[in-house]
Amino acid sequence: MLGGINNALFLKSFSGFLVVAVLAIILRWAFSNNKSLIERPKKIGSDDEYGLLKVAHSPKNHIEGEMLRQKLLSVGIKATLSQTKSGPKILVFEKDLKIAKATIESK
């Protein structure tokens, strides 16, 4: 006991603050939404790596692809223009595939 202070009680209460601080740091790291300032490089996949999206058309370049995508959007079909390993592709959901192909072919 130094100077009339109970050192054991002081160290126990101080260690409690340290434990709470460590838990706060761990929880902040675990529940962060990982906002990195450096953008990760985009992964280019093959045609079958896009889950529920199916290939509706294979345009020659991105300009033609964007024009066709805008055409599909004006009809009410959600479409995505994506770069795949085999070139640009217009991807739509499987339920809209037949309508999208018919819309694209009816230039």
Q: Pairing relation of β-strands 79-84 and 53-57?
A: unpaired
Listed residue (12, 35, 16, 14) closest to 24, CA to CA: 16
Q: What is the reported pLDDT for 31?
A: 84
Q: pLDDT above 70 covers what percent of the chain?
A: 94
Q: What is the reported pLDDT for 107?
A: 64
> Distance (Å, rounded) from C-alpha 8 to C-alpha 72?
73
Mind listing the pLDDT tens digit for each residue in 33-83? 777 778 778 888 888 898 999 999 999 999 999 999 999 999 999 999 999
**Which of 11-15, 79-83, 101-105 comes out lowest in average pLDDT?**
11-15
